[in-house]
């Protein structure tokens, strides 16, 4: 790790590595943290030898063994200790049930959000946890260091850091979409203003797409009546890491299992967190409409849905997961035969299996309602071995780079999605080869290091008057 003005700090809710007690040995077991954000940050943090501040609610994270386990990654883990009850309020209630839903346009507005007195107590926790992070940045950052604050959980931290430490070179990055001023106005004025000021008041604010950056500027303009300094840095696939997993025995073994289940049928794949914004239900409805209107495809195609659980502590996710599973069951019961299961749902987190499915698809369906980027849309073309076709939502940030070589769909339009699947399944092989090549090239244009460098450059061009 560098010290002084060359030092680099990454600040995020979740850390690069999780720890579990190994019951057998009684020792700590390092575990790679799941999730796009950590994958996106990892390579750059490693190269820069970053110090990584992240929340810790478990005793394991706080032990010296934890830091030791990370030393060979050249990453210094700096845990920010948060009481479990406070963490739950900050993370589940404000970050995920409120800000995530608002930014992705997910609210069932007659019922949610509900800013009642329980919520306002959670808001106090959110502010407090952001203060804890800002305080730890103050302790951890040498004079003139570069600080990269990550995502909507820490929306208040950037301005707090800027105020406490005008010497730091600071930026923040929001991995989600940003919503319109109208949508943001569902938040109480005080909350919206605090979130916007928290981000806009702490150096440049980055997004995966100009679309979200523009929405953020419009919100700051509407609520705070001033411009905001934003930048766009599109995240990229860690192709080396992906190739390593793809070449692994575990992946090969999953690939054989998948191919034996699919046989010589065509294969549609989706790989997603089981998340309301991912639009899994409409993907299944579209597939069913395809089977209804195209009898020739019955028995000739399989839809493998690799949907790994997420935020299972929230009732909304439990309910959605149940709906996804029962819709798949109903479709299988209606259309399936003794030797054909139309939908294979795999609701477990199994990364080698996900990569096997990406190697093997004829059609990759990525149809989120709204998505900051969607890394799967880039990972698929990077490892796919069958000149597979991408059906991509116009509402994913990735559609800016990939839209020209993908079949674009309005994610709400089930019939259009069914038509897109039909078109993708029928595409002549020379066209498949052509578009797969273009998708691969588009996905390979940038690396995770490019993205990380963009953040560092944004932090170091910080135009705050008080910066050095």
Distance CA 380, CA 124 (A): 41
Q: Closest CB to a copy of itself among 413 and 453? A: 413
Q: Closest CB to a copy of itself among 30 and 106? A: 106
Q: Rule CB under 8 A: which residues touch a copy of itself? A: 105-111, 113-117, 119-120, 179-180, 182-183, 185-189, 276-277, 279, 281-282, 285-286, 289, 292-293, 320, 323, 369, 410, 412-416, 418
Distance CA 17, CA 28 (A): 12
Distance CA 388, CA 435 (A): 9
What letter does residue 273 receive in the DSSP assignment? E
Assess contact for 58 and 48: CB atoms under 8 A. no
Burial class (CB in 10 A: 0-12, 13-18, 19+), 203: buried
Q: Closest CB to a copy of itself among 134 and 219? A: 219
**Least Å from the CB of residue 196 to a copy of itself:** 16
Distance CA 435, CA 252 (A): 26
**Least Å from the CB of residue 304 to a copy of itself:** 21
Q: Closest CB to a copy of itself among 279 and 360? A: 279
Distance CA 57, CA 306 (A): 29
Query: Helices 157-164 and 117-140 meet at what angle, rounded to 10?
Result: 40
Q: Closest CB to a copy of itself among 177 and 204? A: 177
**Least Å from the CB of residue 276 to a copy of itself:** 4
Q: Closest CB to a copy of itself among 318 and 447? A: 318
**Least Å from the CB of residue 331 to a copy of itself:** 13
**Least Å from the CB of residue 107 to a copy of itself:** 8
**Least Å from the CB of residue 398 to a copy of itself:** 17
**Least Å from the CB of residue 369 to a copy of itself:** 6
CA 184 to each of CA 107, 177, 218, 327: distance values in angstroms, whole numbers, following the listed order:
12, 12, 11, 32
Neighbours of 339 (CB within 10 A): 7
Q: Closest CB to a copy of itself among 11 and 276? A: 276
Distance CA 426, CA 362 (A): 10
55 phi/psi in degrees, rounded to 5:
-65, 145
């Amino acid at each position: 790790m560098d010290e002084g003005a060359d030092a680099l700090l990454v600040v995020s809710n979740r850390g690069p590595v999780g720890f579990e007690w190994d019951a057998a040995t009684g020792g700590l077991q390092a575990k790679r943290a799941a999730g796009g954000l950590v994958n996106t940050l990892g390579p750059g943090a490693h190269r820069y030898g970053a110090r990584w501040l992240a929340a810790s609610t478990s005793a394991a994270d706080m032990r010296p063994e934890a830091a030791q386990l990370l030393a060979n990654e050249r990453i210094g883990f700096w845990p920010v200790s948060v009481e479990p009850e406070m963490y739950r309020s900050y993370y589940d209630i404000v970050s995920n049930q409120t800000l995530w839903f608002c930014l992705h346009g997910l609210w069932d507005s007659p019922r949610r959000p509900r800013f009642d007195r329980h919520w306002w107590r959670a808001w106090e926790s959110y502010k407090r946890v952001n203060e804890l992070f800002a305080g730890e940045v103050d302790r951890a950052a040498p004079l003139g260091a570069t600080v990269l604050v990550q995502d909507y959980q820490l929306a208040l931290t950037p301005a707090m850091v800027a105020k406490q430490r005008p010497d730091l070179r600071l930026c923040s990055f929001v991995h989600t979409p940003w919503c319109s001023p109208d949508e943001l106005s569902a938040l109480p004025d005080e909350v919206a203003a605090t979130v916007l000021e928290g981000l806009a008041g702490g150096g440049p604010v980055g997004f995966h797409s100009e679309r979200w950056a523009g929405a953020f500027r419009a919100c700051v303009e509407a609520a705070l009546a001033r411009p905001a300094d934003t930048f766009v840095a599109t995240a990229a696939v860690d192709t080396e890491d992906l190739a390593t997993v793809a070449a692994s025995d575990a992946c090969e073994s999953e690939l054989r299992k998948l191919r034996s289940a699919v046989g010589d049928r065509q294969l549609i794949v989706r790989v997603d967190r089981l998340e309301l914004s991912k639009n899994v239900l409409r993907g299944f409805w579209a597939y069913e409409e395809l089977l209804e209107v195209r009898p020739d495809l019955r028995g000739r195609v399989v839809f493998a849905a690799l949907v790994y659980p997420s935020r299972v502590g929230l009732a909304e996710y439990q309910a959605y997961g149940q709906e996804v599973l029962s819709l798949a069951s109903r479709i299988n019961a209606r259309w399936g035969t003794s030797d054909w299961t139309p939908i294979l749902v795999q609701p477990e987190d199994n990364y080698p299996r996900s990569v096997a499915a990406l190697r093997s698809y004829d059609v990759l369906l990525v149809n989120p309602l709204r998505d900051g980027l969607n890394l799967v849309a880039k990972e698929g073309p990077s490892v796919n071995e069958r000149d597979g076709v991408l059906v991509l939502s116009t509402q994913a940030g990735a559609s800016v780079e990939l839209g020209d070589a993908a079949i674009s769909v309005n994610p709400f339009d089930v019939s259009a999605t069914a038509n897109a699947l039909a078109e993708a399944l029928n595409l002549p092989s020379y066209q498949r080869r052509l578009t797969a090549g273009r998708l691969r090239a588009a996905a390979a244009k940038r690396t995770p290091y490019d993205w990380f460098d963009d953040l560092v450059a944004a932090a170091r061009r910080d135009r705050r008057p008080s910066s050095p």
